[in-house]
Every structure is written in C-alpha cells, then in structure tokens.
Amino acid sequence: MFKTPLCDLFGIEYPIILGGMLWVGKADLTAAVSEAGGLGIMGAGGMRIDEIESEIAMIKEKTQKPFGVNIPLVRPDSEEMINTCIENGASIITTSSGSPKKFTRMIQGRGCRVIHVIANVKFAKKSEEAGVDAVAAEGYEAGGHNGHDEITTMALIPQVSSAVHIPVIAAGGISDGNGLVAALALGAQGVQMGTRFLATHESAAHEKYKHAVIQMADDETSVTGRTTIGPTRAIKNKLTDMIVDAEKGGATPEELFELIGEGRSIKACIEGDCEEGSMYCGQIGGHIKDLKSAKQVVEDVMTEAKSAITSLQAYL
C-alpha cells in the first residue's frame, strides 16, 4: 500500500521526502530518513564545498540507500555544488530558487534524478519542459521562503497535477499520515515534509528551536517580506516583530536584508536564540507536539495513512 511510481523512480520504499532545510538537514537527518525507507535530502544551501563533501561522506557511512541534496540555484557556485554532490554519491539533486533548465540534462546525463521546487502551475510546466523528473509543489503553508502567489497546498496540488505529466510531490502543511492520504487524493505521488522532520532527534536544529516548534500554537507563524525581499514564514518572535515594524515604516529591501541577514538563521538554528533568530517553520508546527526519531516519524506516517484509509471506507 502507498507504493507510488515515485517510489520506483527514486528507489525508495515510501513516498516520503525530507525537505532540504538550511542548517537543519545535515548528514544525521538525511541518512536517517533514507534508512527508514523515505528519501533523505540534505540542505546544502549554507555549506561550503568541503562541507558538502564531508557531510555526504557521513551520510554514506550511515546508509547505503538513495539520498539527495538540495541546491539553491541562486548560489553563484551552484554548478560546482552539483558536481561535488554527484561525484560524492548523491543520486537525486533537488533544485530551487532559479531555473532548472541549465543543469537538468547534465545532472541526468550523469545518472542522477532531478526534482525542482515550484509554487505555481506556470513554473511546474516550465520545469517539465526543462526535463526534470518530478516537481515538489510547495504551498504557502510551508516554512521558510515561499511563493509570491500565496497559493495554498490544497489549491496548488490538484492544479499542478492536472497541468503536468511528471510526478508531483506535495509540500507545505503536511506532517502525518492524514496529510499523505490527502496529498495522494489531490493527485500527488508523494509528500515532502520539513517542519515535522525539524522536530526530530537527528535534526541539526538547536534543542531550543525544536522545542519552540512543539510548543507553538496554530497561529504562531508570521509571514514577512511579501512586498520586498519575498515572503518568508517563521515562528513569531522579537525578530519577526522587528521586521514587521520595519516594513510598516517603509524599509527598503536593502535595509531588510541588513536586518535579517544569514546570521539570523544561524542564531536560531545553531545558537538557540529563539527571540532574535529566524526560526523557519510551517503552519503545521502547531500540530506537532513531540520530538521523535526520523524513523519513528516515517513509520507513524505510514501507520496513520493506513488507518485513515480504513476510516474513510466507512463512508463509502
């Protein structure tokens, strides 16, 4: 049950994919998700080339199963990053924040699959034209950087699924088996989860950050940057209040970049500063109430999905 064509495409047991999270999805979490039967995706956006090499080496020590790496194409060294990942054993490259057209054929020519992250139908079609193997359609509920169109997962997935012929992976607002079943019903062949895996033992996030997720309520995320540097969802704290005030005061994109900066995500994820650090988190965080191992998350999702199907049959 729940073995979709996506599983055969990537050589995985379950249609569950780890979202490539900056600072959070390193070797331990990536390997744990893959070893549990899903597809671990390492978030390499903040890594140097030598760090990518060392993290992949650690992944390969922990699992022999397929794994991937997320590469933000806005990085000026994205081509070198891709080459390093392939040379060191990644079997899937997830691209984001840019057009996949430049690199897709090269990646596939070297024996790897390509997933591209999109947030609307237009770019799903362009990704298919570029030849990618699958798209991860990310709804506005997701944590971190989001699409300008603010299309929610419930509305996005059926439209993307109807528009393209390649597999669609549903992302944004999914943390359990009910979400998996819903995504499959909407036309997806699998799900990508970030926030749920952030709150795991193997996550590289600071413990204070993890506990901020499991203690939050449903209304405790904030989206900033809508009209300036791009919408970004994070847990409400002193920093998000500062950003909101700056935006209301007419701050320029340059001023907001200076206020936010890459160091803010480091302050939260690495240093555990949950007041003045950026705690990227999806709206589904309010549904997550405990820390688990990545293996337990995968197993629970599959058990819950089967239970959901059984419960639905009562209405047939």
User: What is the domain count for the chain?
Assistant: 2
> Do both 164 and 245 map to the same domain?
no
Q: What is the pLDDT of residue 3?
A: 93
The answer to whether residue 202 is domain-embedded is no
Q: What is the pLDDT of residue 90?
A: 98
- The 10s digit of each residue's pLDDT in 105-147 is 999 999 999 999 999 999 999 999 999 999 999 999 999 999 9
Tell me which residue range forms the domain holding 251: 207-283
> Do both 170 and 224 map to the same domain?
no
Work out the end-to-end distance of the chain between its first and last CA atoms, rounded to an integer number of angstroms. Answer: 19
Residue 93 has pLDDT above 80, yes or no: yes
> Do both 120 and 175 map to the same domain?
yes
**Given the structure tokens 């080496």, which residue do they identify?**
57
> Do both 101 and 211 map to the same domain?
no
Whole-angstrom Cα Rg for the chain? 18
Buried b or exposed e, range 252-270, using 16+ CB within 10 angstroms:
eeeebeebbeeebbbbbbe
Strands, E assignment, the chain: 16-18, 40-43, 67-72, 92-96, 113-118, 134-138, 144-145, 168-171, 190-193, 221-224, 232-235
The answer to whether residue 3 is domain-embedded is no
> Do both 16 and 81 map to the same domain?
yes
| pLDDT over 70, % of the chain | 99
Distance CA 239, CA 76 (A): 28
Query: What mean pLDDT is predicted for residues 270-282?
Result: 94
> Do both 30 and 106 map to the same domain?
yes
> Do both 68 and 26 map to the same domain?
yes
> Do both 121 and 219 map to the same domain?
no
Residue 47 has pLDDT above 90, yes or no: yes
The answer to whether residue 295 is domain-embedded is no
> Do both 20 and 134 map to the same domain?
yes
Split at pLDDT 50, 70, 90, the class of 264 is confident
Q: What CATH number does the domain containing 26 carry?
A: 3.20.20.70
Residue 306 has pLDDT above 90, yes or no: yes
| C-alpha 47: how far from chain center | 16
The answer to whether residue 314 is domain-embedded is no
Residue 99 has pLDDT above 90, yes or no: yes
- C-alpha closest to that of 96 among 137, 66, 129: 137
Query: What mean pLDDT is predicted for residues 1-24?
Result: 95
Model-level pTM? Answer: 0.96
> Do both 82 and 185 map to the same domain?
yes
Q: What is the pLDDT of residue 124?
A: 98
Q: List CB contacts of 258: < 8 A, sequence separation 6 or more.
A: none
The answer to whether residue 212 is domain-embedded is yes
> Do both 39 and 171 map to the same domain?
yes
> Do both 136 and 178 map to the same domain?
yes
Residue 299 has pLDDT above 80, yes or no: yes
Q: List CB contacts of 269: < 8 A, sequence separation 6 or more.
A: 22, 23, 24, 204, 205, 206, 209, 277, 279
